[in-house]
Amino acid sequence: MSTVGIIANPASGKDIRRLVAHASVFDNNEKINILQRVLLALDAMGVKRVAIMPDYYGLGERAIDGVKLASLRVDVIDSPMTSTEGDSTVAAARLRELGAACIIVLGGDGTNRVVAKGCGSTPIVPISTGTNNVFPVMVEGTVAGMAAGLLALGAVDAENTTYQAKRLEVYIDQELADIALVDLVTSSDLFIGTRAIWDPSHIREIVLAQAVPGRIGLSAVGSCIQAVGAQHDTGMYLEIGTGGTQVLAPLGPGLVTRIAVREHHLMAVGDEVRLKSEAGTIALDGERQIEIYPRQTVSVRLTNNGPRVVDIGRCMAEATRRGVFQRLGAEPIADSR
């Protein structure tokens, strides 16, 4: 049976950057609206089952109650609910075990980071509903649902319509501590606190898996120097400070700031950079996660061990070339999985 998983984070798009910058709150009612459009698209495509992560706001239950579906079965999975980011990791692993063809993720960079820790080789369809949205894409839920449906039904080739994302692996004293999908930042802040990193004067070093011009957030510092695409086999290291160059970068909504960059260089996949071992914190994809102490050895390796990601545009284009939508216009295609 064709199955699509859904993980929707009710906490995404609501952190401290609403106070220190001009970010808007991404309302949970809008997330429900997106989920309903996703479900309607999956139903129209002929997908048989959707499995949704439970959450404290009940996004999945509310979306189901407000939409009429012809034949799509929608279940909220049996998964622990602690109202922490670990819920998304556990749910991703559960959806992988259930045999989901792909997982639709509603959230920002941080949400996709924790989903990536549990989804294994199951491709993800990241829909932007967070604060930092470099990794997920701004896409209409209807189209995202159609792309997920094409993959679930085997109507397009998964190898041609997905790509392996990069990731940044953080090692402390040579032990893997955590990962990031977009950016890793060391800060002089001694404690995790409110998690979101927003004060540029506290930033020491930035390591990037991608630096796409036109995106907002800490990766914008790198993209103002040189573009590094999501599917390029490179990353970037930057040391913040005077003595090199200076850029004007969009660090947040309405927050365009001059940043002095002392040093920067590209990294190839497999390269590892040792960070300065001063006391402070490490932010992963925009949120402080790790406290570091003097005499610890901290390094970051760029790898191709990130999640498989559905390229929605490529997916839809291949379906068009194959005449899938014409066949679907006549009647739902048979599940070839």
For residues 4-32, average pLDDT? 72
pLDDT confidence of 20, banded at 50, 70, 90?
very low
- Check residue 205 and give its pLDDT: 97
Distance, CA of 133 to CA of 113 (rounded, Å): 12
Calpha distance 229→85 (Å, rounded): 27
- State how far the Cα of 285 lies from the Cα of 132, in Å rounded to an integer: 8
**Average confidence (pLDDT) over 3-31:** 72
The whole-number pLDDT of residue 193 equals 61
Instruction: Calculate what percentage of the chain has a pLDDT beyond 90.
Output: 78
105 pLDDT more than 50: yes
Q: Is 55 helix (H, G, I), strand (E, B) or coil?
A: coil
pLDDT of residue 18: 38
Write the pLDDT tens digit of every residue in 181-226: 999 999 988 777 656 676 788 899 999 999 999 998 999 999 999 9
Among 17-21, 272-276, 285-289, which stretch is predicted with the lowest mean pLDDT? 17-21
Mean pLDDT of 222-245: 96
Q: Stretch 117-135: mean pLDDT, rounded?
A: 90
Residue 22 pLDDT > 50: no
Judged by average pLDDT, the poorest of 193-197, 249-253, 303-307 is 193-197
Domain annotation for the chain: domains and CATH numbers: 3-165+307-330 (3.40.50.10330), 167-303 (2.60.200.30)
Of 170, 143, 156, residue with least CA distance to 298:
170
How confident is the model over 68-88, as pLDDT tens digits? Answer: 999 999 999 998 899 888 999
DSSP 3-state of 161: helix
Please, what is the average pLDDT of the chain? 91
The whole-number pLDDT of residue 334 equals 61
